[in-house]
């Protein structure tokens, strides 16, 4: 069925909005006559309006709403009236489908008030409980809690929620106006930059200090690349001027002074500037995704909570260095007293990899990756697209894969089989013991039997309440056992988390309907556990785990 009125809600920052653009392109390919409305935070209206395929931007003024609520009880009525206007405006659009890519409770409440017949992503039930609608959205939510084995990039997760995963894309998109290009060309000319100069951009800041590479490390790389004849351009907001000043002071004896444009460009001008650069050196930031949208090569520095597999630059040929220390990736809420992971990415290694990427010398990048991997915890990846057509990171160099890499690939194939009807690839030799997946398969089999028993009780003309209650208690105990498998065996945690979200969003008006839903969810769990066993090619099969094992 062709859709005509589509809403996308994304109330996050620059990078997440840009990563929405492949989904918008896919939706237009599937529904060419559709009007796509992007509901975005007012401060990011400029980037929203520059995403191809967005027909209308609805600006949600979260700053105003927050100020009204914080001013005290006398302004709560004003906040209510503002949100009443928002709901009225959006309901008037009569959307046929709404995709909520923001996981906040506020966005979930908003979606539930719009009366859209098909809501995908985060919403609320009539009695105020969270409801993560569609399996792809639930998988994304589960992966956020178990990121070490997160199988899909954020872009592909969005596309899965929207149902356009089969539409080929090559990266995010950002429409740059000629005025912005001319403005940047004029600005660079005023700074004495020749039209044929080789520009290398450095994005100094990040959303949090733990995600920020030290400016002194950036300075040493800038000094080396300036010595090779490149002009260094410093990017960032006005709040990052202090970082730029520290870098400039450390580069006082460089062959050419860095060009400080922190806080001096609009988003359009930032896109035009990146389009002009030969390389961007950055952490996991919004400008990194802007560079991917302008097809500017990226050398990404990932440490702390940043992980290249789920938030890396979407496209072919970017290089990402990851500080794969034992605690990586840390939780976004962690306040680390010693973020030593940043120091594992040395300026010497980063400078050499940047040189090799500028020269498009893939053999040199691989050789450096081998040295880094053998000498420590650093892993170097090249971004691209796997045989399944989705984003992937290829480990470079003669470096052994880690168990989480095997798990990630197995989970990826398992979910593609379950959610996209893709065939399973052949099994590979694995170091992972499959006993936890075998146990989960057995528990799921018992769950399906209990669901059938509950269905039979409900189908009786005069159901025995005591029998229904007894079976329901057995199901509750079984579900606790399934959850414990994920807590005791981290390799199975993504499966058990997905199971928990599936149970959380289960709906049914009577016991018979709930029993059928129970049965479906247990069958899905058993199939996924069996697929993981088959892909890993190790451990005991489900039939080898006896009832005694399960009761333990």
Same domain membership, residue 14 and residue 126 = yes
Same domain membership, residue 203 and residue 54 = no
Say how far apart CA 133 and CA 111 lie, in whole Å: 11
Question: In 55-117, where do the E strands start and end?
Answer: 56-60, 97-100
Q: Is residue 180 assigned to a domain? A: no
Domain boundary among 162, 187, 205: 162
Q: Is residue 530 assigned to a domain? A: yes
Q: Is residue 318 assigned to a domain? A: yes
Instruction: Please count the structural domains in the chain.
Output: 3
CA 250 to each of CA 238, 245, 478: distance values in angstroms, whole numbers, following the listed order:
20, 9, 61
Q: Is residue 416 assigned to a domain? A: no
Say how far apart CA 458 and CA 461 lie, in whole Å: 8
Q: Is residue 99 assigned to a domain? A: yes
Dump pLDDT digits (tens) for 482-510: 999 999 999 999 999 999 999 998 887 78
Same domain membership, residue 206 and residue 108 = no
Which of left, alpha, beta for 171 (phi over 0: left; psi -120 to 50: alpha)? left
> By mean pLDDT, which of 113-117, 119-123, 326-330, 517-521 is the weakest?
326-330
The enclosing domain of 63 has a CATH number of 3.40.50.2000
Q: At 501, which helix (H) or strand (E)?
A: helix 493-504
Identify the sign of the CA torsion 46, 48, 54, 55: negative
Same domain membership, residue 488 and residue 442 = yes
User: pLDDT-derived band of residue 538, with 50, 70 and 90 as boundaries?
Assistant: low
Q: At 299, which helix (H) or strand (E)?
A: strand 298-302
Q: Burial letters for 185-202: b for 16+ Cβ neighbours within 10 Å, e otherwise?
A: eebbeeeebeeebebbbb
Query: What is the arithmetic mean of pLDDT over 70-80?
Result: 89
Q: Is residue 282 assigned to a domain? A: yes
pTM: 0.93
Dump pLDDT digits (tens) for 189-234: 999 999 999 999 999 988 777 788 999 999 999 999 999 999 999 9
Q: Which domain holds residue 370?
A: 197-400
Same domain membership, residue 295 and residue 390 = yes
Same domain membership, residue 460 and residue 542 = yes
Q: Find the Cα–Cα–Cα–Cα dihedral 374, 376, 381, 386, rounded to 10°.
A: 70
Same domain membership, residue 444 and residue 395 = no
């Amino acid at each position: 069925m062709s859709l005509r009125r589509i809403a996308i809600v994304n109330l996050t920052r620059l990078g997440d909005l840009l990563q929405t653009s492949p989904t918008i392109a896919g939706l237009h390919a599937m529904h060419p006559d559709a009007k796509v409305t992007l509901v975005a935070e007012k401060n990011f209206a400029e980037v929203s309006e520059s995403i191809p395929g967005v027909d209308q931007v609805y600006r949600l003024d979260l700053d105003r709403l927050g100020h009204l609520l914080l001013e005290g009880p006398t302004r709560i009525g004003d906040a209510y009236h503002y949100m009443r206007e928002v709901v009225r405006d959006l309901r008037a659009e009569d959307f046929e489908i709404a995709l909520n890519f923001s996981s906040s409770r506020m966005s979930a409440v908003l979606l539930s008030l719009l009366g859209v017949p098909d809501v995908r992503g985060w919403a609320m039930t009539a009695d105020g409980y969270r409801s993560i609608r569609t399996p792809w959205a639930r998988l994304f939510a589960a992966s956020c809690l178990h990121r070490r084995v997160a199988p899909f990039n954020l872009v592909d997760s969005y596309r899965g929620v929207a149902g356009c995963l089969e539409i080929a894309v090559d990266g995010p998109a950002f429409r740059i106006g000629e005025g912005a290009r001319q403005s940047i060309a004029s600005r660079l000319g005023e700074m004495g930059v020749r039209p044929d100069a080789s520009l290398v951009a450095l994005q100094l800041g990040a959303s949090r200090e733990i995600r920020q590479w030290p400016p002194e490390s950036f300075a040493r790389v800038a000094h080396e690349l300036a010595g090779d004849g490149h002009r260094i351009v410093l990017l960032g907001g006005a709040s990052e001027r202090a970082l730029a000043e520290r870098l400039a002071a450390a580069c006082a004896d460089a062959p050419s002074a860095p060009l400080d444009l922190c806080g001096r460009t609009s988003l359009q001008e930032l896109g035009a500037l990146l389009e002009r650069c030969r390389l961007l050196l950055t952490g996991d930031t919004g400008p990194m995704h802007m560079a991917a949208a302008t097809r500017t090569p990226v050398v990404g520095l990932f440490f702390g909570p940043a992980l290249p597999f789920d938030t890396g630059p979407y496209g072919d040929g970017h290089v990402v260095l990851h500080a794969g220390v034992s605690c990586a990736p840390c939780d976004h809420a962690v306040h680390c007293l010693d973020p030593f992971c940043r120091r594992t990415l040395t300026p010497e290694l980063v400078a050499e990899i940047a040189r090799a990427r500028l020269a498009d010398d893939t053999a040199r990048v691989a050789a450096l990756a081998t040295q880094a991997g053998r000498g420590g915890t650093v892993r170097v990846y090249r971004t691209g697209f796997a045989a399944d057509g989705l984003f992937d990171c290829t480990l470079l160099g003669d470096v052994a894969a880690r168990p989480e890499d095997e798990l990630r690939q197995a989970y990826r194939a398992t979910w593609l089989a379950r959610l996209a009807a893709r065939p399973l690839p052949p099994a590979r030799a694995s170091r992972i013991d499959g006993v936890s997946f075998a146990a989960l398969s057995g528990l799921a089999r018992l769950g399906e039997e209990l669901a059938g028993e509950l269905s039979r009780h409900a189908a009786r003309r005069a159901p025995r309440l005591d029998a229904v209650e007894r079976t329901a208690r057995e199901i509750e105990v079984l579900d606790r056992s399934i959850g414990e498998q994920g807590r005791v065996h981290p390799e199975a945690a993504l499966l058990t988390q997905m199971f928990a979200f599936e149970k959380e969003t289960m709906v049914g008006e009577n016991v018979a309907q709930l029993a059928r839903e129970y049965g479906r969810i247990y069958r899905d769990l058993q199939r996924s556990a069996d697929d993981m066993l088959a892909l890993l090619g190790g451990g005991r099969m489900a039939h080898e785990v006896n009832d005694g094992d399960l009761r333990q």
